[in-house]
Amino acid sequence: MGNTNSCQKEPVKKKETIFKNEVYRIPALFYNRDENILMAFAEKRTNENDSSTEALVMKTGKVKKEEMEVTIKWSEQKTLIEKGSHRPMNPCPLYEKNNKTLFLFFIRVEGECTEQWQIDHNQNKARLCYVKTTDNGQSWSDETDLTHSLVEIKHWATFAVGPGHGLQTESGRLIVPVYAYVSGKSSAPHAVSLYSDDKGETWKFGKMLKNESLECQMAEYFDHSGNSLIYCNARTKGSYREEDISHNKGEDFSKLSCFFCFYKNLVETTGGCQGSVVSFPDQDGNIGGESSQNQNKWLLFTHPSDKSKRSKLGVYVNKSPKDPSAWSAPWVINCGFSGYSDLAYIDEGWFACLMECGEKKYNEQIAFQMFSYNEVKQAIKK
């Protein structure tokens, strides 16, 4: 099921180009539902190489909802973080709802030093930083560098955040998805959570996933008993995605497994590719597209669905997140070349997706796509 996809029925709304004419990569998306504002982030580069990032850029989009229609009006592009001695990479927005503060986490990497050089030489050249805003990106704080306050980083060859969004749990914990290579050990990377229980004042790392796992995202959902679970979906170097679950709000994870799985639904593209995941209220028989309890119980995932190359960006649904075999077949929302993506849930059954795509290669532009759960349901027929 996970290996089949179709381009027969693309979303009703057409894709809208957000970042183009330069080289842009690594999309990240946040939706402020209090203000009905989307914030889109990306890396601006001089060429396609990871070592050529010049700045982090952003646009904001005002969301207008009328009956069954959702429209977005985008702002002009703004340069947010510029290159100095260390280039900024991997935007990862994270919202603290009590103080109405958006954190934008990112890494800074020295000069043009590559990730592979750091791994080969066991020398970390990356820094862990964030800026924050309380006015939807009109103004931003100075940078905060957390690198030297977290002892684990001293033992890593290198690391990165996300990319894509972080999350705040219903209990208030802030979680940033991270992956790292530990110095002096095998070259295998492992995902880990960075979390805060005091609204972002102090931060701690959880325990690394046991299995190899690269770029990752996490989502909170609730089981039928109302228990909170943190789901982690990570890129791998193998044929399938890594899926893990945490019962203690992301402090440690165990691999999801099922005894009767004869196939795995979430395939990994050759060489691996980042993917995005969000949780949302179950949509079965709910008026207005929301659950009566309004608890997030389902998962939505986007990732290139072609096993051999970055193409055919697929949307997958899982109504039973504890079961890795419960993922639907993908609904392909971009039939051509497709790369990294980031999702946001807009409410009332609507989703937003920021994606790398193009006609000749996957990194020609970053585009924006809106679609509804009803479209997903009709496409996957499940």
Residues annotated catalytic, as ranges:
50, 340, 356
> What is the C-alpha separation between 153 and 155, in angstroms, rounded?
5
SS3 at position 116 = helix
Structure tokens at 221: 């959902």
* Cβ contacts of 382 within 8 Å, gap of 6 or more: 317, 328, 329
* Cβ contacts of 31 within 8 Å, gap of 6 or more: 37, 38, 39, 63, 344, 345, 346, 352
DSSP 8-state assignment for residue 121: H
CA atoms within 13 A on the CB side of 119: 12
> What is the C-alpha separation between 374 and 283, in angstroms, rounded?
9
> What is the C-alpha separation between 348 and 74, in angstroms, rounded?
21
Which segments of 237-295 are extended strands (E)? 242-246, 254-255, 276-281
CA atoms within 13 A on the CB side of 122: 7
